[in-house]
Amino acid sequence: MECAVYVCPKCHGIGVIKTSGNSVSCKNCGHLTDYSEYGFFDDNFNFNNITLWDEWQTEFFKKYIEENEGVQKPLFKDSKCTLSAISDDYSVVHVGVSEKGDVTDFKFYKDRIEFSNLTVRLKDINACSIFDRDTFCFSDRTGTHYELISDELKNFRKYTSALQILCGLN
């Protein structure tokens, strides 16, 4: 569930949905619902099912991106991630991991992605996908492929949705 929906319908936080058992909640405001074995939410929740939630979040997200400047401040970010760059000769470089193994925030702006000392302009990204729930992959026009992996489950769908809205990528 937390891989499908990423916007809280109450506080509009992005990437804050968590699940435990049959419960879905927001890490920011605590908004909570349970879902049945048939996939329906509690009667008092904002939506009856995940399809309606996803339709709402898609429209909300489009407006959020359009109305947000997103150049000085990131639209959203994730911490506790590791980014690897894989060149066309299959050599791998770990981006943004210090000698101590510290990681930095992966920041998504309206015109670029930043991670440590790497900046990739969105206009240079030509493909993106999610692999196995915990890996966000994207490629740039130079032939470099990037894999963002998290130590904890995060919703990377917000990145593919944003790239679809801003760059027309599927």
What are the average pLDDT values for consecutive 10-residue runs of the chain, which has 170 residues?
89 93 94 92 93 96 88 88 87 68 78 91 95 90 91 87 87
- In this prediction, residue 99 carries a pLDDT of 47
pTM for the predicted model, two decimal places: 0.86
Q: What pLDDT does 98 receive? A: 45
Query: Distance of CA 144 to CAs 44, 70, 112, 119, 141, Å?
Result: 47, 25, 16, 13, 7
Alpha-carbon separation of residue 95 from 92, 100, 107, 148 (angstroms): 9, 13, 14, 10
Question: What's the pLDDT at 164?
Answer: 93
Residue 115: name the closest of 98, 127, 132 by CA: 98
Residue 97 pLDDT: 55
Looking from the CA of 106 toward its CB, the CA atoms found within 13 Å total 23
